[in-house]
Amino acid sequence: MEFNIYLYNENIIGEKITFNSNDNKLNSFDVTLRYTQYILSPQGDSVGNSIKLENENYILIFNPGLIYKLTDKETNITTEGRAGYEINILSRNSKVYLYEVDLNEMSKEDFLNTDYKDMSQIVLIPIECSATEVKYRYEKPLELSGSEITFSITEMEK
């Protein structure tokens, strides 16, 4: 099966992108679509729910307004900050950026106007996603780069 998407903007006039089901990169695009459906869409402004990701070591909660809270179950230490997302249709993948910051000091708008992609302490790449589970590959911190972490998914209605 093959899908054709045509891009139109001020820089690209009608450039064609083809998704071929025999292409391994289609799997990463499929992960991005499911990630959007199960993680990003429920916490969007129109729905306003939170997403709780949990495994034996951590609880990661994504709240509306690009807010995250990460709790280490062993130490019971919670960090919070702003969460950014990048979906790149050309490379067919996505990234999650967790930038630890005082939420009273940085609004959502201020966050979006920073260089959060470079400043984020944690960068995760979704590599598998279903309605019940998501698996990420660490890009940052460097000492965890390449390792993987899996969470169960729970949508918490407002």
Assess if residue 138 is contained within a domain. yes
Residues 6+ away with beta carbon under 8 Å from 61: 50, 51, 52, 53, 68, 69, 70, 156
Assess if residue 102 is contained within a domain. yes
Q: What is the mean pLDDT of residues 145-156?
A: 94
| pLDDT for residue 25 | 42
82: left (phi over 0), alpha (psi -120 to 50) or beta: beta
Tally of domains in the chain: 1
Whether residue 70 has pLDDT greater than 70: yes
Assess if residue 31 is contained within a domain. yes
Q: Which of 62-66, 77-81, 86-90 has the lowest mean pLDDT?
A: 86-90
Assess if residue 146 is contained within a domain. yes
**How is residue 151 written in tokens?**
């969470």
Q: With H, G, I as helix, E, B as strand and everything else as coil, classify residue 100.
A: strand
Q: What is the pLDDT of residues 13-68, one digit of tens each?
A: 555 444 444 444 434 678 888 888 888 888 777 788 899 999 999 999 999 999 99
Position 158 confidence tier, pLDDT thresholds 50, 70, 90: confident
Assess if residue 4 is contained within a domain. no
How far apart, in Å, are the Cα atoms of 47 and each of 1, 37, 79, 151, 156? 33, 12, 25, 22, 11
Assess if residue 151 is contained within a domain. yes
Which structural domain, as residue segments, surrounds residue 59? 24-156
Assess if residue 66 is contained within a domain. yes
Assess if residue 19 is contained within a domain. no
d(CA 67, CA 33): 21
Which of 67, 75, 101, 86 has the alpha carbon at shortest distance from 139? 86
